[in-house]
Structure 1
Amino acid sequence: MSVIDVLVPQDTVRRLHVVVAERLARLGHDVALVGVDAPGMAPVLENILRFERTALRVRLNSLLDAVPEPKLSPGRTDAALRLDLTGGGGPFASPVLAPRFAGSPSLSEAARLLMNGHLPDVDIVLDGDRSIAHAAPMVDSRLSILRGLDDVLARVATLLVDTAHRYLAGQADGRAGVRPPAANGPTAGEMLRAYALSTVPRQVAGAVKRAVCNLHRWDVSYRFHKGRRVADSGLLAGEPWITLPDDGNRFYADPFPFEWQGRHFIFVEDFPYGDGKALISVAEVFENGTATVPRRVLEEPYHLSYPQVFAHDGEVWMLPEGGAGGNLVLYRAESFPDRWVRHSVLIPERELFDATLLDHGGRLWLFATERDGHGSASDTLVVFHAPGLHGPWTPHAANPVTIDRAAARPGGRFTRVGERIVLPLQDGTDEYGGALGLADLVELDEDKVRLTVPVPILSPEKSTYPKIHTLNSTGRLEAIDCIAPVRRGRRRRSG
């Protein structure tokens, strides 16, 4: 057990500080919150966040919420490590770990970047000198600074806890020698100008778009290819795509083709407007390219998506995304394709998203993103492995493998391209569902996970193809989905 002091502004302890301390304590460390004479958050930022809570009615149990009557302790001379969460970058007894937002210790710099429409990266810096861990957090809401900062701070907590734990075990040296760029925090005037001249116009434009269009919807398209898939070429060129029509009261997304006994099916996320959650439906696709209207096959009290269907040990299984339910649940086809029964919980009490199965090296592996109670579900890659489908499933020693909005969340099945193993990965740099890249799995065992930097999928004209979200294929059938906003009130005929 190591002694860790978490240094915080003595006048304002925030939920973030308590979360970091509690997580480290659960890992077996002796942790105390130590109050320090530090200014804390800039008053202008406090006022902007207060404005969003009241005038914009942003309702959020935020990591920035003040904690009433926190328990503070004096600093300890025997502390093996200190975590500086004061935001001031002041000198403290070594060793000390502290977050940097685009090079600055000040959270105001992260806020300024968000106000100008940019996304801040985070480094964990040792003794103010070098970065030993890095993250590129996903920000789900680009129009609320409070929500955006909460997403960033959620990954600060994830990264800082993991880095501190590994540092004390002698393992945190992955970015040794990398110096983050030095940056000062912005002035009050710079922040006010950024909010007034950049954030507010984007908020107004976003409100108009939401009033006119259903922005968060997708189209599913499919085709029978002639031997050259998107994963083979990185291009959407080739045979024409056919759109799976909806009735205007729902949208379909996350298509997973599956071939069974000579017949072709596409399982999809089926999201009726107004329901607040999606379910799983299936359409049959015929050789002439026509498809049946998707019909419901699986529903839970919580949101379901990403219906990964596969055959294993003579049975047909489905492993859908059900992160809102808090468990990764495996379903078995009792009567394919229409009747599915809950078979087992593979990984309990974890918020896992888009868990993607791989059979490799004599073991089964699951790649997924995890939301650890706060922040986005699209930036923290975790891996699990097991001797067989029914477990036991073991968390990988490298978890979290990466925190990267452009290279963490799976966007479809692993695909073998010659000797390569290719994984589609979602790129949330511009927005959720904004792009998809293809990464090669180059190293995987019980100690290491290594993927290449994803290469964006390109259009037939070899320009980056925007807003593709999922890519899957099986046999001759492949499918994609893309963001496709439509005007409110528009109705589309179902095929």
Structure 2
Amino acid sequence: MKKYIASLIILFGIIVLLIINYRTPFFQQDGGGWSVGYGESNTYPENINVKENQVYSIESLKKQNDSTVFLADPFFVKEKDTFYLFFEHKKTKNNGDIGLMTSVDGKKYQYRGTVLTQKFHLSYPQVFKYKNNFYMIPESKQANAILLYKAHHFPFDWKVCDTLLKNVRLKDPSIYLSDSLNILATSDDKLNLYIYQADSLFGKWKLHKKTIALRGTEARPGGRFFADKKGLILPVQNCTNGYGCGLSLYRFSFKDGSYSTARIAPFFLKGNKDIKEFSAGMHQLDVQRIDNNKYYYVYDGNRLNSDSKKLNIYGPLKWTYVDLKNWILNR
């Protein structure tokens, strides 16, 4: 009897390990530094062929700033005839800063330097125009708050003008503002994606009554909300093969004070072995309509350091536990 029970336990353990290894492999690829890519299309981008687009690589930025470790989390705004591309600029032994590149044609970019630096780490610089002023909501998790910055001499001279959320350690806040809907999507370290709402940008931001939108290995924003003919879409990071391996698209449908979510494009962006800079994975996307007949988009990705893989035990165990818990809670 004891041997039978022991055999069942071993069999159960093997099954669990196989599930874990399928969902999030123990052996994960050896990813390196990040780069930025960009492109355009005359119609809404149902898919993006990154092989046809241009890349601003680590090497390109190193020529301008030799302390560069990577550039990631790109967001852009187009003002008049200029593209302003803001990004997380990680430099040797420093916290992340917010860097800037500009272009007059959306094809050739010039590095313009650092536009925002703090004593804490900054990333994910979502920049947007609101009532004729430019604002930025970067990730400021280490400040225990979600901070709102205003440009006093755009694209430079950014200063904190408001604190949207206090005493929180949240990642990658993505905001959407309109006359009828104002929401903020952001995630915590426990793989939960929360939705906040307010009556305006400067209103009081509160958790939505349906607090958590997504849980598990796809529960971290990966770019700006954008709209197609059917409504709102949020890029969401996919971490099943480790951090930064891919990006999926989720539709958010708000109605009668609540909302629903649907995964509409699994791995919309993912690693491509044919592109050195994005051979390991991709995790950020910003799509905007820049005129009546054209869309422009920026994204990032990282490269493989080698063909070897690293052993990662903690990640698969953690993510599988979270996914299993969420499956039980949502039944």
The two structures share one fold, judged by TM-score above 0.5: yes
Give matches, 1:47-66, under 5 Å.
none
Identity, % of aligned pairs? 23
What secondary structure, in the 3-state scheme, does the structure 1 residue paired with 2:299 have? strand
CA distance in 2, matches of 1:357, 1:470: 15
Answer whether contact 1:425 1:454 (CA < 8 A) is retained: no
1:221 aligns with 2:37: yes
Partner of 1:439: 250
Question: Which of 470, 473, 479 is 2:287 aligned to?
Answer: 473
| Bigger Rg over Cα | 1
Partner of 1:160: none
Question: Which of 171, 187, 193 is 1:353 aligned to?
Answer: 171
Partner of 1:23: none
Equivalent residue letter for 2:232: I
TM-score of the aligned structures, taking structure 1 as reference length:
0.51
CA distance in 2, matches of 1:273, 1:291: 23
Greater relative contact order (CA < 8 Å, ≥ 6 in sequence): 2
CA distance in 1, matches of 2:14, 2:256: 36
Could you list the per-position Cα deviations for residues 266-321 of structure 1 after superposition, in whole angstroms to 9, with x for gaps in the alignment? 0000001322x201011001217211124101111111111000011121000001
Answer whether contact 1:332 1:340 (CA < 8 A) is retained: yes
Partner of 1:316: 134
Change (3 A) 1:273 1:380: same
- How far the C-alpha of 1:336 sits from its partner, in A, is 0.5
TM-score of the aligned structures, taking structure 2 as reference length:
0.75
Change (3 A) 1:314 1:433: same
CA distance in 1, matches of 2:119, 2:256: 36
Partner of 2:53: 240
Question: Which of 105, 113, 116 is 2:17 aligned to?
Answer: 113
1:286 aligns with 2:104: yes
Of the structure 1 ranges 303-312 and 246-255, higher mean CA displacement relative to structure 2 is found in 246-255
Equivalent residue letter for 2:89: D
- How far the C-alpha of 1:263 sits from its partner, in A, is 1.2
1:402 aligns with 2:214: yes
Partner of 1:422: 233
Question: Which of 200, 204, 214 is 1:392 aligned to?
Answer: 204
Question: Which of 154, 159, 173 is 1:336 aligned to?
Answer: 154
CA distance in 1, matches of 2:20, 2:227: 41
Unaligned runs of 5+ in 1: 1-103, 121-141, 143-198, 210-214, 488-495
Unaligned runs of 5+ in 2: 1-8, 273-278, 307-331
Structure 1 vs Structure 2 CA RMSD: 3.0
CA distance in 2, matches of 1:249, 1:238: 28
Question: Which of 116, 120, 128 is 1:302 aligned to?
Answer: 120
Equivalent residue letter for 1:241: Q
Change (3 A) 1:445 1:241: farther
What secondary structure, in the 3-state scheme, does the structure 2 residue paired with 1:324 have? helix
Which is strand-richer, 1 or 2? 2
Answer whether contact 2:198 2:204 (CA < 8 A) is retained: yes
Answer whether contact 1:434 1:469 (CA < 8 A) is retained: yes
Answer whether contact 1:426 1:436 (CA < 8 A) is retained: yes
**Count of paired positions:** 277
Could you list the per-position Cα deviations for residues 120-150 of structure 1 after superposition, in whole angstroms to 9, with x for gaps in the alignment? 8xxxxxxxxxxxxxxxxxxxxx8xxxxxxxx
Change (3 A) 1:451 1:289: same
CA distance in 1, matches of 2:244, 2:214: 19
Equivalent residue letter for 2:76: P
CA distance in 1, matches of 2:185, 2:259: 10
1:254 aligns with 2:73: yes
CA distance in 2, matches of 1:385, 1:351: 18
What secondary structure, in the 3-state scheme, does the structure 1 residue paired with 2:210 have? coil
Change (3 A) 1:288 1:383: closer
CA distance in 2, matches of 1:412, 1:444: 23
CA distance in 2, matches of 1:394, 1:305: 23
CA distance in 1, matches of 2:52, 2:255: 34
Equivalent residue letter for 1:219: S
Answer whether contact 2:37 2:50 (CA < 8 A) is retained: no
Answer whether contact 1:426 1:469 (CA < 8 A) is retained: yes
CA distance in 1, matches of 2:34, 2:205: 33
Partner of 2:85: 266
What secondary structure, in the 3-state scheme, does the structure 2 residue paired with 1:399 have? strand
Question: Which of 353, 358, 364 is 2:182 aligned to?
Answer: 364
What secondary structure, in the 3-state scheme, does the structure 2 residue paired with 1:392 have? coil
Answer whether contact 2:280 2:303 (CA < 8 A) is retained: no
CA distance in 2, matches of 1:363, 1:285: 32
Equivalent residue letter for 2:132: G
CA distance in 1, matches of 2:123, 2:17: 32
Could you list the per-position Cα deviations for residues 342-397 of structure 1 after superposition, in whole angstroms to 9, with x for gaps in the alignment? 111111011111111112561311011123xxxx5xx2110110011012111111
CA distance in 2, matches of 1:415, 1:114: 37
CA distance in 1, matches of 2:197, 2:255: 10
Partner of 2:262: 452
CA distance in 2, matches of 1:328, 1:398: 20
What secondary structure, in the 3-state scheme, does the structure 1 residue paired with 2:114 have? strand
Could you list the per-position Cα deviations for residues 394-421 of structure 1 after superposition, in whole angstroms to 9, with x for gaps in the alignment? 1111222331212x21111111112332
Change (3 A) 1:264 1:217: same
